Chains A and B, each alone.
Chain A
Amino acid sequence: MQYKSIEKKEWDKALERLLSSHTIYANVSNDFGQDYELIEQTDIPRITYNKPKPATSLKNIFLPVKENVTTDKAGSKSRIIIGAPNCDIEGLSILDEIYLDKDFTDTFYKKKRENTLLISSDCFGIQEHCHCLSYNIKPYSVSKGDLAIINLNGKIIFRVITEKGEDFLEAIPEAVACNDNSIHDAIEKEQHSTEALLTEANKGLPDYEKTGKIVAGANKDIWEKYSAQCVSCGACAAICPTCTCFLLIDKPGFEKVKQLDACQYPGFERVAGGEDALFELHNRFRNRYMCKYVWKPEKFNSIACTGCGRCIEACIGKINKNELFMELS
């Protein structure tokens, strides 16, 4: 694995320069914790490194909540995303399968993917509901995204993953090869310690495949029990890195606006004649689990739940999917 490093203060200066030619989104600390934000020069000190995790997922930077998909008003400025945890990076894989599908390519999504440089961030430490490792997703990226970033002892270290990432660093002369084994060892130590924390925190939680079997075999009583606190707000789907269902809204001039939707909302599957396969709350509730752990795995190669735990954090009914899985496993 190739590593490069740059002094932190030089990196901050490089970001200042990059802001003139790029749109930069970064994982920044804010009054509520941390989240992805479109940054300006004054935001650079707020960028957080190696701390899990942004409140919302990466998907909305590629699939805006609301987007006119018939008139192309998107700017052509290149974009950089800094500080995405690996769960979010993995979450993009199924979005790619859906939106870059060769039969029907979403050119709006494609353009955003192509003009974005993705810098992931190794997670050092975990949050209460993090369980990526249970689904075989490491808390750091070695194969996806263009670069991975580590902030260590006043230095920014980059793990180079793609040629695009390598070219990006070539243009920053202050970034030099990092062959210092003590730094590599320090990174590895942090990675192992995070993995140990994840393993400890999620003892007994079934893996992705086993979860699929549990969900497929669960009976109506379970869905009724766990959906009793559900108010169909759709927060779980809105915050999920892999839930991307949408509605097309018609505007004059045969224009279409694509708006994020959720199977948790009543009427999601209702047809004009009034039939609605997801009329009952427990059926809608079950639908999301079946989709993530049973149906999507049959249809796609990428994982449909990254174990980020945001749906648990976002639920106003305090529904914890992992408690459901533990009860049944």
Chain B
Amino acid sequence: MGHNNNIYKPLRAKLTEVINESPLIKTFVLIPEEEFSFKTGQFIELSLDGIGEAPFTPSSSPLITDRLEVTVMKTGYVTEIMHNLEPGAFMGIRGPYGRGYPVEKFFGKEVLILGGGCGLAPIRSLLYALEHISDNLKKVTLCYGSKTPSDCIYKPLFNRLNSIKKFEAYRTVDQPDEEWNESVGVATKLLDKVTVDIKNSVVVICGPPIMMKFGTIRILEMGYADEQIYLSMEKNMSCGLGKCGHCMMGEYFVCKDGPVFTYSELKNTPDIWK
């Protein structure tokens, strides 16, 4: 929601810490001036005063309401300026918007997560949420791919996940360096080494469009049904309110009807991977 009953007005948030995750990716730790809560997978519009605004899914736990972490890849005009920010600066937040991950539907099941690049940001938030309800889950498996070892974000996360009961985490890179001793190849290659109970599981895919496309194809080949696959779609969400039209994908407003969709909802929509 916007601030003070105005859907367009951002809530101010103070930047308290900037974490370097990779040469192109930083995490911004923000303290909103008012309590701010979201459901995992929902997104916010994060703005730079007088400069611009862009949509991001928070990477922090949805259980924390006094602090928010947003992981941002330097990829365009707004994010490039964001990357120059230092603690003490103020940013604007609107949201949360859209439909996040329906974690209550994951109860009693295995959750297989396929992530790539900066797509691990929403997934980290989801992992925190799943950790909180892990008693109700069978298993959580994360398969994550990035271009190079230095592009791998949240490095401490993987050791921690592997130490949590029911959680398994695997990483792969396209271009290894001499020190890399984990898998090599695209993220979907990791699917060959995981064991999953396909009938009793759901799949979450979040990453760059090319990975989303080939990830979904591979997952379907494995025998998953369309409605078991949850995709986090990336479009040019500008208003976040289902009004401005920039994120229309077929009859859907990605900002309001998504950004999380099942593949069964999208499979007849053209150009979803663009």
Contacts and interface: CB of A to CB of B under 8 A. Distances in A.
A295 B251 contact: yes
Nearest to A106: B7
A70 interface: yes
B58 interface: no
Contact of A101 (B76, B234, B242, B248): B242
A254 B245 contact: no
A272 B78 contact: yes
B238 A273 contact: no
Interface in B85-120: 92
A73 interface: no
Interface stretch (A126-134, A243-251, A316-324): A243-251
Interface stretch (A32-40, A45-53, A261-269): A261-269
Contacts of B197: none
Interface string A248-286: 101111111010010100001111110111000001000
A299 interface: yes
B251 A299 contact: yes
Contacts of B238: 247-248
Nearest to A271: B236
A78 interface: no
Interface string A94-108: 000011010111110
Contacts of A299: 251, 253
Contact of A107 (B6, B76, B79, B241): B6
A98 B274 contact: no
Contacts, number: 115
Contact of B9 (A98, A256, A269, A291): A256
Contacts of A268: 236, 246
Contacts of B247: 269
Interface string B254-274: 001000000000000001001
A268 B209 CA distance: 18
Given A104-B242, A299-B251, A273 B50 contact: no
A296 B9 CA distance: 27
B19 interface: no
A250 B48 contact: yes
A104 to B, nearest CB: 4
Of residues A99, A277, A287, which shows the largest number of chain B Cβ atoms within 10 Å of its Cβ?
A: A277
A112 B103 CA distance: 41
Contacts of A245: 244-246
Contacts of B23: none
B69 interface: no
B47 A246 contact: no
B72 to A, nearest CB: 10
Contacts of B50: 250-255
A279 to B, nearest CB: 8
A245 B51 CA distance: 21
Contacts of B7: 104-107
B5 interface: yes
A198 interface: no
Interface in B1-22: 1, 5-10, 12
Interface string A284-303: 00010011001110110000
B75 interface: yes
A292 B236 CA distance: 20
B75 A277 contact: no
B78 to A, nearest CB: 7
A277 B252 CA distance: 14
B129 interface: no
Contacts of B1: 104
A69 interface: yes
A202 B77 CA distance: 48
B8 A291 contact: no
A248 B8 contact: yes
B239 interface: yes
Interface in B179-230: 208-209
9 contacts: A101-B241, A107-B6, A246-B243, A247-B244, A268-B236, A271-B234, A272-B77, A275-B209, A277-B249
The 10 closest A-B pairs by CB, nearest first: A272-B76, A245-B245, A252-B50, A277-B274, A295-B251, A104-B241, A69-B8, A298-B251, A277-B271, A272-B75
Interface of B: 1, 5-10, 12, 47-54, 75-79, 92, 208-209, 234-236, 238-239, 241-251, 253, 256, 271, 274
Given A245-B246, A298-B251, 19 more contacts: A70-B6, A70-B8, A103-B242, A103-B256, A244-B245, A246-B239, A246-B243, A246-B244, A246-B245, A247-B238, A254-B9, A254-B92, A269-B247, A270-B236, A272-B76, A272-B79, A277-B271, A287-B248, A296-B251
